Structures are given as C-alpha cells and as structure tokens.
Structure 1
C-alpha cells in the first residue's frame, strides 16, 4: 500500500511524513478554531473536555505501535534467517558436489550458479517491487533449482549411484524450503487494518490535544506540533522497517552474491 514511501531515501521519507502530519495538524487546528465559536463556546475559555482523553488515546496509539513494531522485527529476523539458510544450503550443496563424477559435478554447479544469478538479478528486484509470490517472474530462477532437484533425485534412486546423492538431495530440498520462506517474508508487513487503526488513533489524539488547548492559541500550536513530531518519528520507524526486502535498510543478497563465483 505504501510502497512509494518505502522506496524513498530516509531523509526525504521523514520529511514527507512530517509534512503530511503537519498538514493534518493545521487542518485540525483550523477546524477546531472555526467550530468552537459557532458551537457557542467562548474561544478564550477551556472547553468542558477532560485531558484524560489525551492520555487514553495516546496510550492506545503507543500500544498499537509497539504491537506493529514487534511484528516488523520478527518479520525482519525471519527474512534474514531465510536468506542465510538459503545461502548455507547452497554452499553445502556445492561442497557435497565434490564427491560426484566430474561431469555430474559440473552440471550441478552450473545449475546452482544459474539459480543464484536468477535469485540476485530477478527475485530481488521483484521482491523490492512487492511482486506477489505466485507471479511467473519467480519461475525463472526456480526452474534451475527444480532441474537440479530432478536430476539428483533420479540419480539417488538409481542403483549403484554415488552415496553423495542422498545428502545432496537433502541440501537441495533445504534450499527450496528456505526460498519459499524468503518469498513468504517478502509479503509480510503491517496490514492495511493496522495502518488505518494507527492513523485513526493518532488523529483522534491530535484532535484531543487541539481541542483541550483551544483557549490558548500558542500552547495549542506548541502541544500539537510536539505530538506531530513524535507521531512522525513513529511512522518513520515503522515505514523504514515495514517490508524486509524494500527500502534503504532492506535485506540484501550479500550471502548469495559471495557464492556466485564460488
């Protein structure tokens, strides 16, 4: 939903978030200052609204931000673990291939290198664009892995085959499992319902601050803008880490790139 924000450099991303939040802040200030006199309340007297509503809605916003941040952290850890598992399994398969006959070893290494090249050149840009995991673009790299799996499975089932084919087959299956976990992690992130809830609660809290300080214009501006800065920082952190494979702090294929020339 917010892929345009995710792909921004960090400084422009924060400036955009702060600008949008400030715009909403001034719209609420203008709305309150327009409505208060028309509802029959003196502009220079406190409104009959308790300050506790600010504490309540602020606590709710902090709670949902903490809930979302915990999910984002778990998604990021899972994504990094999946990439590392994939790289470790590929490296193990390359090492085990040394026990194969020269022709079989060369063919397997060629397929694994083609798979790695496809993952780096095709999978990563597709994940950065938030492409659905069932998109045919991911088939281009997977076909090399499936070809290796088919060949090793056939050789493992053949009588008199090398004893290395069994462990090698296990490594290839592990590569595929790690690949599926990586692709699943690329679709993780904060849901639209969480975004809506955070926006609604933060806007309600800001509105409460503006209303409770409507009798003192300077204090109204100071209090509202302090809250805007805090909320913008929270949104900035969440947007920066929301998608594991999108943005300037995303997971990179460094471990896989080191194996291409292995």
Structure 2
C-alpha cells in the first residue's frame, strides 16, 4: 500500500491520505450515532471536554517525533550518497585518465550499476553483487595494479575507496531503515482512539461531531502524509536524487 502511495504525485498522495482519514472519522461518527454503541454516549457526559484536545495534542506530538526521526534518516541517506559520489569523483581525478583509462572506466561502471540496478533493489534489502564486485576489483587494482603510480597517491586512493565502501554501506542501511510494523500499529491505533473519543464526546450534536471528525481527520491525515512521504528515502516523488551518481558515468 505504501509503495502505491509513493508512486503518486505529492498533491494526489496528500489528498488521498487526508481524504481517507476524514472519511474514516466520519464513518466512526456514523457508527457511534446509529448503532447500539449509542447507548455508551451518556457515559461520556462526565468526562472533561478538554480531554479530547489533550489526546489529539498527544497524538500530534507522537506523530511529530516519528516524522522527525524519518526525516533525519532521509538526511542521513542523502549524506551517504553525497559522500559516495564525492569519494568516487575524487578517486577518478587522482589517477591519470590517459595512462590508466581502465580505472576511470571501472568507476563509471560501478556508478552505472548502482543507478540502473541497485537503486531499485536496495529498498527491498537486495544488494547488487555486481556493484560490490566492481568495488572489490577497484580495491585490488589500487593495491596490485596501476604500475608506476606514486606510492603516496596509491595510499590516498586506498583511503578514498575505503570511504566509498563506508558510504555505500550507509546508503544500503538507510534504504532499508523504514518504520517498523509495530510503530505503524501504534500510529493507527492511537488515531482510532482519538477519533472514537471525539465521536462520543460530541454525541449531543451530530453536526458538531462531524465537524470535529473532519478537523481531527485532516490533522491526523496530514501527520500520516508527512511520515509516509519519506518512509522509503529512495522511492517516491520526494526520493533522494541519483543525478550526481549518474554524472559519474554519463560523462565518460
């Protein structure tokens, strides 16, 4: 379901999530007012009216913490990609392209494999073995190949390729670091509690109940949208761009 939403345009995704939440809120209101659950409505008369607002505030704070965590993970993923591209570009510039053309071609092949194959599969936890093999071969080439290369450049290349490896692993981890199912259960269940309490608390006026359901539905839907939009940092309309990585092999 989340993958389907991520493929939609941002505005459409936001409207769909918020609209679904509002519709669910209205459904709860109708269930409360039209079924045997209406017998429970008098029990809510002795509850403090501000309790509903406090519950909504608690939900907003909880959702904001979840959203903040997800957005920080997206920033971490962006930094990993930036570091990987920067290290690859630096390694390519340290080697004479005319004397050692195979080194630059290997970096281009790695970048092409990452952008065309691994970029799509890493969100499912699938690491591209071809990209890893190319990177391993680059390490081997720096250690045992490139005859006549100054020793200080060879050491610098070794350190730079280690930076590439670290950035690559950070990127792969960030791609699969999505919200656990247990957290989603908590987000959904607490939203249902807030909407149900609102429906009971405004049992004396069906119109008021619908208005509050709409307002709470918009707030809850907006919070869910802010979470879902970046749940998978490399998929969707707000996904991390691979343009910088593409330039490493397009210019070859």
Q: Does the pair score TM above 0.5? A: yes
Deviation of the 1:250 alpha carbon: 0.6
CA RMSD, 1 decimal? 2.3
Output the CA distance in 1 between the equivalents of 2:158 and 2:41.
Answer: 78
5 Å-filtered alignment, 1:172-251, equals: 172-251=161-240
How many aligned residue pairs are there?
249
* Unpaired stretches in structure 1, ≥5 consecutive residues: none
Counterpart selection for 2:78 from 77, 80, 94? 80
Output the CA distance in 1 between the equivalents of 2:124 and 2:164.
Answer: 21
* Unpaired stretches in structure 2, ≥5 consecutive residues: none
Output the CA distance in 2 between the equivalents of 1:91 and 1:40.
Answer: 67
Structure 1's 40 and 123: CA in aligned 2 closer, same or farther, altered over 3 A? closer
Residue of structure 2 in register with 1:96 after alignment: 94
Deviation of the 1:155 alpha carbon: 4.0
Structure 1's 189 and 39: CA in aligned 2 closer, same or farther, altered over 3 A? closer
Q: TM-score, normalised by structure 1?
A: 0.87
- Checking the alignment, whether the CA contact within 8 Å between 1:244 and 1:250 is kept in structure 2 is yes
Residue of structure 2 in register with 1:35 after alignment: 36
Residue of structure 1 in register with 2:60 after alignment: 62
Q: Report SS of the residue matched to 2:55.
A: helix
Deviation of the 1:40 alpha carbon: 8.4
Output the CA distance in 2 between the equivalents of 1:77 and 1:16.
Answer: 26
Output the CA distance in 2 between the equivalents of 1:65 and 1:40.
Answer: 28
Q: Report SS of the residue matched to 1:215.
A: coil
Residue of structure 2 in register with 1:120 after alignment: 115
Structure 1's 40 and 247: CA in aligned 2 closer, same or farther, altered over 3 A? closer
Q: TM-score, normalised by structure 2?
A: 0.90
Counterpart selection for 1:169 from 158, 162, 172? 158
Counterpart selection for 2:144 from 154, 157, 167? 154
Range 84-93 or range 63-72, more displaced: 63-72
Output the CA distance in 1 between the equivalents of 2:158 and 2:74.
Answer: 29
- Checking the alignment, whether the CA contact within 8 Å between 2:60 and 2:223 is kept in structure 1 is no
Deviation of the 1:8 alpha carbon: 2.2
Q: Report SS of the residue matched to 1:23.
A: helix
Deviation of the 1:188 alpha carbon: 1.6
Q: Report SS of the residue matched to 1:214.
A: coil
